[in-house]
Amino acid sequence: MNIYIRIRHLRKFTTSVFALLLFTFAVSANAHEFWLEPDSYTPVPGAKVSISHSYGQYFKGDGLPYVGEWHQRYVVADGTRERKVSGFDGDLPAIQTSFSDSGLKVFGYFGTPEPQVYDNLEKFEKYVQKVGLDHIARRHRELGKSNKKIRELYARNAKMLLGVGSASGNDRALDLPLELIAEQNPYTLKPGASLPVQLLYRGKPISGIAIITFSQKDPKNPVKTVTDADGRSTIALPAPGAYLLNAVHMFEPAAGEKSDWTSLWASLTFALR
Closest to 155 in 3D by CA, of 241, 72, 224, 242: 72
Are the beta carbons of 29 and 127 closer than 8 angstroms?
yes
CA dihedral of residues 159, 160, 166, 172 (deg, nearest 10):
0
Q: How many domains does the chain have?
A: 1
Q: What is the CATH number of the domain that holds 197?
A: 2.60.40.10
Per-residue pLDDT of the chain (273 residues; tens, 9 = 90+): 232 233 334 444 454 454 444 444 334 344 579 999 999 999 999 999 999 999 999 999 899 999 999 999 999 999 779 999 999 999 999 999 999 999 999 999 999 999 999 999 999 999 999 899 999 999 999 999 999 999 999 999 999 999 999 999 999 999 999 999 999 999 999 999 999 999 999 999 999 999 999 999 999 999 999 999 999 999 999 999 999 999 999 999 988 888 999 999 999 999 998
| Domain range for 187 | 2-272
SS3 readout for 65-109: CCCHHHEEEEEEEECCEEEECCCCCCCCCCEEECCCCCEEEEEEE
Question: Looking at the whole model, is its pTM more than 0.95?
Answer: no
Task: Give CA angle at 213 (209, 218), nearest 5°.
Answer: 155
